[in-house]
Amino acid sequence: MGNRIALWDNLKFFLVTCVVIGHFADRFTDASNIYDSIFLFIYSFHIPLFIFISGLMYKNKDITSKAIFFISIGFAYKIVSAVVERLLGTVKVEFFLLWDGGLSWFMFALAAYTIILRVIEGQNKRYILIFAIVLACFIGYDLGIGDFLYLSRIIIFFPFFLSGVLLQKVNIVDIKNKNSKYIFFAGLVVVIWLGLCVFELDIFYRLRYLFTGRNPFFPQIMSYAPLARLASYTISFVMCFALIMLIPSRRMFLITDMGKNSINVYFWHMHIYYILNKVFNISNVFNYGVSGKLAFLLMAVLLSIVLSHNIFNFPIKQIREQIFLNKKAS
């Protein structure tokens, strides 16, 4: 696996736990302003920072194998989703080859970025970054953009991936450790944004549809949509670097090792949620006041911890072995 950097594994566990919390909260955003605030806060950084880290980790080798790996996981997710739906009693199971609104988009986006980076190898990536941001600021005017070929999210989150690639030669961990005096300011940024998500929700909630990267511009922001997209990018980038400053760089008991298996949590958490909800109706906990709402989110954290165990690495491990180990053997 090479020399892993603890900071990135710590961040990945934190971020994938935020993914699970965000998806749990999304079940009840229509019924709870607090859940709306949690959703808005988490979505401002969790996917951008995950994709930024993926850009940092990008290496220009085994491109075809990596693309096949990501695509294989994406389709495996779709297949498992269809099987789980049928087992839980869904009569008409839907399976869409080239689009969907579920979680598989993330793997197809990583496959696309891997291929794009090979295509633009040797080109002026700083110019391409500027072009990508400008394109993302206007692509929402195309009302047909959305889940087909996962194009909307691929385009909108690409600047985070490319930014990670451009910063590969920068020793972020070393810079972070030498500038620990700025941790207070990083914490202040996070607290201020969280406060705005809670106390100014009516103003900022419209950014939800920009942070998800999935939707075309909606009518309320059409007159200033590119500026709204730039604002969402600014918030996301600032939050990303603030969290990099705040998350410890050292190995953390259990956390660092669990971060290595963040892809397991990504793959299984919604399937397990649907199964648990069907069998035990766990979402009903939400209805028991403030304590119930907290308990429901605590379930998300516990689920992240459990799914980080190696026993949940199926089918990721098998796909990886078939693609990479067999390639080396041949």
pLDDT, tens digit (0-9, with 9 covering 90-100), for 133-180: 999 999 999 988 888 889 999 999 999 999 999 999 999 999 998 898
Most confident of the following: 91-105, 140-154, 288-302, 316-330? 288-302
Most confident of the following: 52-66, 81-95, 96-110? 52-66
Whole domain around residue 100: which residue ranges?
6-329
pLDDT tens-digit profile of 190-246? 999 999 999 999 999 999 999 999 989 999 899 999 999 999 999 999 999 999 999
Q: Is the pLDDT of residue 112 over 50?
A: yes
**Does residue 30 sit within a domain?**
yes
CA distance 330 to 326: 6
CA distance 25 to 286: 10
Query: Taking the model in full, what pTM does it have?
Result: 0.95
Categorize the per-residue pLDDT at 115 as very low, low, confident or very high, splitting at 50, 70 and 90.
very high
Categorize the per-residue pLDDT at 2 as very low, low, confident or very high, splitting at 50, 70 and 90.
low
Categorize the per-residue pLDDT at 37 as very low, low, confident or very high, splitting at 50, 70 and 90.
very high
CA distance 5 to 44: 24
The CA-based angle 243-265-117, given to 5 degrees, is: 65
- Domains: count for the chain: 1
**Does residue 113 sit within a domain?**
yes
Average pLDDT value for residue range 123-137: 97
148: β partners? 99
User: 325 vs 274, which has greater pLDDT?
Assistant: 274
**pLDDT of 98:** 84
- Which residues have C-beta within 8 Å of that of residue 313, sequence separation ≥ 6? 261, 264
- Two tokens, residue 10: 């710590």
**Does residue 76 sit within a domain?**
yes
Query: Considering only CA atoms, which of 125, 111, 115, 207 is closest in space to residue 159?
Result: 125
pLDDT tens-digit profile of 254-311? 999 999 999 999 999 999 999 999 999 999 999 999 999 999 999 999 999 999 999 9
**pLDDT of 325:** 77
**Does residue 192 sit within a domain?**
yes
**Does residue 56 sit within a domain?**
yes
CA distance 195 to 201: 9
**Does residue 199 sit within a domain?**
yes
Q: Is the pLDDT of residue 25 over 70?
A: yes
With contact defined as beta carbons under 8 Å apart, do 281 and 9 qualify? no
Tokens 């941001």 belong to: 133
Average pLDDT value for residue range 20-32: 95
Calculate the average pLDDT of the chain: 94
Q: Is the pLDDT of residue 1 over 50?
A: no
CA diameter of the chain = 59
**pLDDT of 271:** 97
**Does residue 1 sit within a domain?**
no
Alpha helices of the chain — where are they, by DSSP H?
Answer: 6-26, 33-43, 46-57, 63-87, 105-119, 125-139, 151-166, 172-178, 183-199, 201-204, 208-211, 225-246, 255-259, 262-280, 289-307, 316-320, 326-329
